[in-house]
């Protein structure tokens, strides 16, 4: 997730306007920043890695002249944070500049083709291909708008792209597919941005671009065009009633709720991890004699879920370990035949980094999944992949958990394919599952939110909760418990459901709320007995079940329904959603701030 902005003025200076817009988009990314404008028929770019204010101090981006300009605040996906990888990117001759939010999936092929045609690339980003594609089209003598349209038709993936060009220096041209892009209609200026807060102090009139649409902005006109046909479209602007603060949270009262609702997109972005990286990870894992999965907190729960997938799909034994226990518990087993797959949203968690360094000292190969390119973890690991979630503002991890599980399951599937432990039919079911995941996530978040909120109302006086699951759902139960602990400060228990009779069951008395995670998977029939055990002790059973569920639903006091047909390995990505909402609504009900729970930091950089 990055933030893009653009402005075209009648008179004045774009620098201060873009700087202000980028500050308002900083929540979308903050590892590098840059702006481009056109002065005396030439494109001028100022960009560097660092937060906006750091780059401002160094380059004074707010002082940029010119009446047309684009800006970008970056959250790296392809290419580490660096001056070269910061946006805007320009073509070979400096006639086109582009900023981008999204992931261009076919950039490697396009880059090869463009290089073969004589283009020279300066960055390692996927974005730069867009500038060279437009340059290539301009060579054919067509106008800028058509050059952008034809370039967009060659791109696959997700993108919001904005261009300026010396060829038509009075225009901003932008195009959108899957990544957000909004136009701001001013009186003597027009704007574009990834999100409304960027231009809200300057205009409240906005036009949302649809997928596969482009817009051409001058200071006095806005044209919308269909990418496929080049036909013009008409759409009236609407008036934004939100304050800047509400708009920054996408209209939600808290970042956490916004981030829960962002998951259809963040899961889709996580699944976009390029097969080359997945294969590289899989081939390294395939050579290992011993594999450890290493992480803390939520990231550890993602590892726990992945452990089931590595065993069941790739038939590989992996040991998930809480990072703070790794060296004491397993250090003696680590050698050059060991691979440690580390998962950390921030890439800066002290316990995780210490364990990784300990493993490295003993000769292990380090693989990493992280949300922060350029983090310490990316520097100490041998191979890393990004989970592409964009910044997560809520201290409680939500969208980063579902993204981590998505990437890890993809790695497990890549390993299973390499080891030939998965049949064509199983693979087909999983591929189909990956395709449908964003839709299942979307349906669950939108359809179950109100139901979860009402259940929370009924149980808001409970002093404790228990979460039970079997198989891969143990990870979901543990993560649901962690969310509740973090946000509502209540003691809560999570167990493998089969283990509950070995101790936990003594806690259960009339009215005690027990939450069952019970997807319609291969362990379903065994969890029915566990539900009966709890009902026999007069527990209040709240169950998360598939839409067509019969037995567990019948035994439960409350049910939350999830779409059916989700492959078992993917269930944590959908079944965790109501539990995130449960923790959120309970915290709000208790008057706590879900974005900033007490005693917790987003990134724990102490031991």
CA 223 – CA 219 distance, rounded (Å): 12
Q: Count of CB atoms within 10 A of residue 441's CB?
A: 28
**Of these residues, 2, 174, 296, 303, which one is catalytic?**
2
Three-state SS for 250-262 is: CCCCCHHHHHHHC
Report in angstroms how near the CB of residue 377 gets to ligand AGP at its nearest.
Answer: 8
Choice between 321 and 397, CB closer to ligand AGP: 397
Alpha-carbon 204 to chain mean position: 28
Residue among 418, 408, 329 nearest 368 (CA): 408
- Return the SS3 of 99: strand
Report in angstroms how near the CB of residue 509 gets to ligand AGP at its nearest.
Answer: 30
| Cα separations in angstroms, 226 against 7, 100, 129, 153, 230 | 21, 19, 21, 11, 5
Q: Torsions phi, psi of 343, nearest 5? A: -125, 125
What are the DSSP E strand ranges found in 312-353?
A: 319-322, 338-344
572 binds ligand AGP (CB under 6 A): no
Burial of 5 (0-12, 13-18, 19+ CB in 10 A): buried
Choice between 37 and 346, CB closer to ligand AGP: 346
Report in angstroms how near the CB of residue 403 gets to ligand AGP at its nearest.
Answer: 11
Report in angstroms how near the CB of residue 585 gets to ligand AGP at its nearest.
Answer: 16
Choice between 344 and 488, CB closer to ligand AGP: 344
Q: Using CB under 6 A, which of the segments 283-291, 314-322, 339-347, 466-474 binds ligand AGP?
A: 339-347
486 binds ligand AGP (CB under 6 A): yes
Choice between 225 and 369, CB closer to ligand AGP: 369
CA 146 – CA 227 distance, rounded (Å): 9
CA 408 – CA 391 distance, rounded (Å): 19
Residues 279-298 that bind ligand AGP (CB under 6 A): 296-298
Choice between 149 and 399, CB closer to ligand AGP: 399
Are the beta carbons of 552 and 532 closer than 8 angstroms? Answer: no
Residue among 99, 98, 106, 135 nearest 120 (CA): 135
Q: Does residue 2 carry a catalytic annotation?
A: yes
Are the beta carbons of 225 and 149 closer than 8 angstroms? Answer: yes
604 binds ligand AGP (CB under 6 A): yes
HSE of 404, CA atoms in CB hemisphere, 13 A: 36
Candidate list 106, 319, 417, 603; residue touching ligand AGP; CB under 6 A: 603
Choice between 222 and 256, CB closer to ligand AGP: 256
Are the beta carbons of 162 and 134 closer than 8 angstroms? Answer: no
Packing angle, helices 297-312 and 399-419, rounded to 10: 20
What x-and-dash track marks residues 366-405 binding ligand AGP by CB under 6 A? Answer: -----------------------------xxx--------
Choice between 165 and 345, CB closer to ligand AGP: 345
How many positions of this chain bind ligand AGP (CB under 6 A)?
15
Q: Which residue is nearest to ligand AGP (CB)?
A: 297
CA 307 – CA 316 distance, rounded (Å): 9
Residues 407-466 that bind ligand AGP (CB under 6 A): none
Choice between 53 and 325, CB closer to ligand AGP: 325
Report in angstroms how near the CB of residue 368 gets to ligand AGP at its nearest.
Answer: 10
| Cα separations in angstroms, 145 against 67, 97, 150, 223, 603 | 19, 14, 9, 11, 44
Q: Is the bond preceding 88 in cis, omega lying within 30 degrees of 0?
A: yes
Choice between 81 and 347, CB closer to ligand AGP: 347
Residues 297-336 that bind ligand AGP (CB under 6 A): 297-299
- Return the SS3 of 239: strand
Report in angstroms how near the CB of residue 603 gets to ligand AGP at its nearest.
Answer: 5
Report in angstroms how near the CB of residue 398 gets to ligand AGP at its nearest.
Answer: 8
Q: Torsions phi, psi of 117, nearest 5? A: -85, 5
Report in angstroms how near the CB of residue 482 gets to ligand AGP at its nearest.
Answer: 6
Are the beta carbons of 271 and 158 closer than 8 angstroms? Answer: no
Structure tokens at 506: 């003594």
Residues 487-516 that bind ligand AGP (CB under 6 A): none
What x-and-dash track marks residues 16-55 binding ligand AGP by CB under 6 A? Answer: ----------------------------------------
Report in angstroms how near the CB of residue 49 gets to ligand AGP at its nearest.
Answer: 20
Residue among 472, 511, 512 nearest 492 (CA): 512
What x-and-dash track marks residues 340-369 binding ligand AGP by CB under 6 A? Answer: ----xxx--x--x-----------------
**Of these residues, 51, 360, 590, 602, which one is catalytic?**
602
Structure tokens at 319: 């040991």
CA 391 – CA 312 distance, rounded (Å): 32
Choice between 243 and 605, CB closer to ligand AGP: 605
Report in angstroms how near the CB of residue 606 gets to ligand AGP at its nearest.
Answer: 11
Binding-site ranges for ligand AGP (CB under 6 A): 296-299, 344-346, 349, 352, 395-397, 486, 603-604
State the catalytic residues.
Answer: 2, 602
């Amino acid at each position: 997730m990055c933030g893009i902005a653009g402005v075209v003025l009648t008179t004045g200076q774009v620098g201060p306007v873009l700087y202000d817009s980028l500050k308002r988009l900083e929540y979308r990314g903050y590892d590098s920043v840059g702006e481009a404008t056109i002065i005396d028929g030439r494109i001028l770019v100022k960009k560097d890695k660092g937060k906006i204010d750091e780059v401002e101090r160094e380059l004074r981006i707010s002082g940029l002249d010119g009446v047309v300009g684009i800006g970008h605040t970056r959250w790296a996906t392809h290419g580490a944070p660096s001056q070269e990888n910061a946006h805007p990117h320009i073509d070979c001759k400096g006639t086109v500049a582009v900023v981008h939010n999204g992931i261009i999936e076919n950039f490697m092929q396009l880059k090869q083709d463009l290089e073969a045609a004589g283009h020279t690339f300066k960055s390692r980003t996927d974005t730069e291909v867009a500038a060279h594609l437009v340059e290539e089209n301009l060579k054919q003598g067509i106008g800028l708008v058509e050059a952008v349209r034809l370039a967009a038709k060659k791109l696959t993936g997700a993108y919001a792209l904005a261009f300026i060009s010396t060829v038509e220096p009075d225009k901003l041209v932008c195009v959108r597919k899957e990544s957000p892009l909004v136009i701001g209609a001013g009186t003597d200026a027009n704007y574009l941005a990834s999100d409304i807060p960027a231009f809200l102090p300057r205009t409240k009139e906005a036009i949302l671009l649809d997928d596969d649409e482009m817009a051409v902005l001058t200071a006095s006109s806005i044209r919308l065009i269909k990418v496929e046909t080049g036909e013009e479209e008409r759409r009236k602007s609407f008036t934004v009633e939100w304050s800047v603060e509400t708009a920054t949270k996408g209209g939600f009262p808290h970042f956490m709720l916004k981030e829960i609702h962002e998951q259809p997109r963040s899961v889709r972005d996580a699944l976009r991890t390029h097969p080359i990286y997945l294969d590289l990870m899989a081939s390294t894992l395939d050579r290992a004699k011993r594999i450890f999965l290493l992480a803390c907190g939520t990231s550890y729960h993602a590892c726990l879920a992945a452990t089931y997938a590595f065993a069941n799909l790739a038939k590989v034994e992996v040991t998930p370990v809480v990072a703070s226990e790794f060296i004491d518990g397993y250090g003696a087993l680590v050698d050059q035949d060991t691979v440690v797959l580390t998962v950390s949203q921030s890439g800066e968690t002290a316990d995780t980094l210490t364990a990784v360094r300990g493993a490295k000292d003993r000769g292990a190969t380090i693989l990493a999944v992280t949300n922060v390119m350029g983090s310490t973890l990316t520097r100490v690991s041998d191979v890393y992949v990004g989970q592409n979630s964009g910044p997560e503002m809520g201290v409680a991890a939500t969208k980063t958990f579902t993204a981590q599980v998505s990437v890890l399951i993809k790695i497990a599937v890549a390993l299973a394919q390499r080891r030939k432990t998965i049949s064509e039919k199983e693979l087909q079911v999983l591929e189909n599952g990956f395709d449908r995941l964003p839709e299942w996530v979307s349906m669950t978040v939108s359809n179950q939110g109100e139901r979860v909120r009402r259940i929370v109302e009924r149980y808001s006086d409970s002093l404790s909760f228990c979460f039970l699951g079997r198989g891969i759902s143990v990870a979901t139960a543990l993560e649901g418990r962690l969310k509740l602990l973090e946000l509502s400060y209540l003691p809560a228990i999570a167990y493998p459901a089969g283990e509950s009779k070995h101790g936990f069951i003594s806690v259960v008395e009339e009215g005690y709320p027990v939450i069952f995670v019970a997807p319609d998977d291969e362990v379903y029939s065994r969890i029915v007995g566990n539900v009966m055990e709890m009902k026999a002790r007069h527990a209040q059973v709240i169950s998360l079940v598939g839409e067509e569920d019969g037995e567990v639903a019948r035994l439960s006091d409350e049910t939350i329904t999830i779409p059916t047909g989700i492959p078992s390995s993917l269930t944590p990505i959908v079944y965790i959603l109501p539990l995130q909402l449960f923790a959120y609504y309970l915290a709000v009900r208790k008057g706590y701030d879900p974005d900033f729970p007490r005693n917790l930091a987003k990134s724990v950089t102490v031991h």
